[in-house]
Amino acid sequence: MQRRKYGLGIALSVLIILCGVGCHNNEGGSVMTEDQVTGESKGAKFKTADGWTIMGDYYEPAGKPKGVVILLHQRNGAADDWHPLCIALKQAGFVAFPIDQRGTGRSAQGPGQTGEQAPWDTTGDIEGAYYAMKDRGPVSLVGASYGANNALLFAAAHPTLIRSVVLLSPSTDYHDLKTTDAVKTYPGPLLIFHQKGDEIAGDGPAKLDSMSVSKDHKLVVNEGKGHGTALLNATTTQQAVDFLLRTSP
């Protein structure tokens, strides 16, 4: 599959809708309120440069945010898969913004297939989310499985925009989302989680860690066969939050 190219300048026309944030201009887009999703987050949506309407959840901390964390689920996943980590990030002072990537969950409106045939390349969604969030602080990415590959590809292509990256079960190649070149060029802080028995990611996490050019990279390997957000527990959640706190300005 040939990956689409997204110009960052095009995203200036993105329309962003967030709830509970107030109304102001953001890179040419307007911000307005929407219905509450849960007691911990607000519903949010924005439109990408290539026409997808992306839905997500907005977790806002008390006081000035220490930064923003955009979270990308695994294939057949959803933004809500990140809820426990988002609560921890919010309590630590971060804005957490998990999204339903194009063609999945609530993000079913756009110029492409949905469901099982949804696009694999979601870097355009990350671009739109970045422009929606960048005024709220330095932006970091957290991704699981194909969301991890997309996160690494975007961070490598735009290293000055992304503060740090956390990957759960990344691979060197998910459906032509090849990451070996990306990890050889992304210079920022990188944390990778993996479980030994994960047959989906295989040896991808170890290979990516060994090829990383970052001066601040770490691979955390645990027992089990879990994949993606199944790796989240009290320990890994705290490790991810501590890493993001340490690497925030």
- Flag residues of the chain having pLDDT under 50: 1-37
Q: Which amino acid is located at 30 in the chain?
A: S
E runs forming strands in the chain: 16-18, 25-26, 29-30, 42-47, 53-58, 67-72, 94-99, 139-144, 162-168, 173-174, 177-178, 190-195, 217-222
Under 8 Å between Cβ of 176 and 3: yes
User: How many residues can be counted in the chain?
Assistant: 249
- 13 is a domain residue: no
**Number of domains comprising the chain:** 1
Q: What pLDDT does residue 40 have?
A: 83
> Which of 197, 189, 188 has its CA nearest to residue 169?
197
Q: What pLDDT does residue 249 have?
A: 78
* Terminal-residue alpha carbon distance, the chain: 37
- 3 is a domain residue: no
- 41 is a domain residue: no
Q: What pLDDT does residue 31 have?
A: 32
- 214 is a domain residue: yes
Q: What pLDDT does residue 248 have?
A: 87
- 14 is a domain residue: no
Q: What pLDDT does residue 39 have?
A: 64
Domain of residue 60: give its range.
Answer: 50-247
What CATH number is associated with residue 165? 3.40.50.1820
- 100 is a domain residue: yes
- 10 is a domain residue: no
- 124 is a domain residue: yes
